[in-house]
Amino acid sequence: MEKRLGHRTHERSGLQELNLKDCRAYLRKHGLRITGTKAECIQRIMEHWRIKDGNAEALFPRSSFTINCTGDVCKGDTVLFMQKVYKKFDKATRSGTSIGKRTVAGRVVKESYGAAKQQHTFTVEVLWSKGMKKLPPLFPLLVKGRNLYKLKTFRQRWKNETERHKVLAEKHKRGAAARLVRAKMKTKKACSKNGGVLSVRNVIIQKERTLDWRKGSTLKDVARPQWSTQNPVLIVRRPQQLQEQT
């Protein structure tokens, strides 16, 4: 397939003769993203030809990244940021030996919140990079949000900034939902740490039995813990609220 591509011009008309399988074979060989339609893959191949010889910095100069977007990057942004480079990084301990820094210019092609921890992750298609361990053109770089924003992030201006506001609003909506899910997960984990919700409830009931109830008092006269099976959060209702329910 590489030989077939070598005999073609860089014109789209020549690439149209290739099928999707051929396009993906080229992209896979060069470590590029293989997702998308045939038209999208052809566009990626053409861009790779355009910048693979080191022309990317001339096409996307530092001076074009004028807007500080630290903390607020969205899909479609063309960004410039700096990241630390490690000789060997241990994901378990989140530590490693830093050997320097790398400047990366790239296009954000995907961003999502992980299902397990709801952490924000960006996929940046590298246009050019400088510094330690330079990355090849169009390399799909995965970056956690906290690392993308750590040393300031700048972006190019969109042709239509109003369109960006819509993309940003949709991202913020998903972000709020992700934070809510994470908060619920933390609450459930805290409640079930010592044997589950039932164990916590039993501890509360046991403490109630040791209380010195006032003579003539009933359970309606005192504040008593209430539990929700759907949301394991302790709710304390006052006597007046309990009387209204009975």
Task: State the pLDDT at residue 11.
Answer: 53
| Cross-strand bridge partners of residue 113 | 120
At 128-159, the pLDDT tens digits run: 999 999 999 999 999 998 889 888 899 999 99
Task: State the pLDDT at residue 53.
Answer: 81
Domain with CATH 2.30.30 in the chain: 61-170
Average pLDDT over every residue of 215-231: 47
What torsion, rounded to 10 degrees, do the Cα atoms 182, 125, 41, 44 define?
160
The CATH class of 61-170 is: mainly beta
Q: Do 228 and 235 contact (CB within 8 A), yes or no?
A: yes
The CB-side HSE value for 77 (13 A sphere, CA atoms) comes to: 29
* Spatial separation of the C-alpha atoms in residues 172 and 157, rounded to whole Å: 20
CA angle 122, 128, 131 (to 5 degrees): 95
Give DSSP secondary structure letters for 70-101.
TT---TT-EEEEEEEEEEEEETTTTEEEEEEE
Local structure of 225: helix, strand or coil: strand
Kindly provide the b/e burial profile for residues 195-223, where b requires at least 16 CB atoms within 10 angstroms of the residue's own CB: eebeebeeeeeeeeeeeeeeeeeeeeeee
pTM: 0.65
Kindly provide the b/e burial profile for residues 102-117, where b requires at least 16 CB atoms within 10 angstroms of the residue's own CB: bbbbbbbbebebeeee
- Tokens at 41, concatenated: 């893959």
At 95-119, the pLDDT tens digits run: 678 899 999 999 999 998 876 666 8
> Which amino acid, 174?
R
Neighbours of 184 (CB within 10 A): 13
At 19-57, the pLDDT tens digits run: 899 999 999 998 999 988 998 999 899 899 888 888 899
Above 80 in pLDDT, residue 189? Answer: no
Lowest-confidence region among 76-80, 84-88, 226-230 = 226-230
* Spatial separation of the C-alpha atoms in residues 208 and 194, rounded to whole Å: 19
Pick from 153, 3, 127: nearest CA to 73? 153
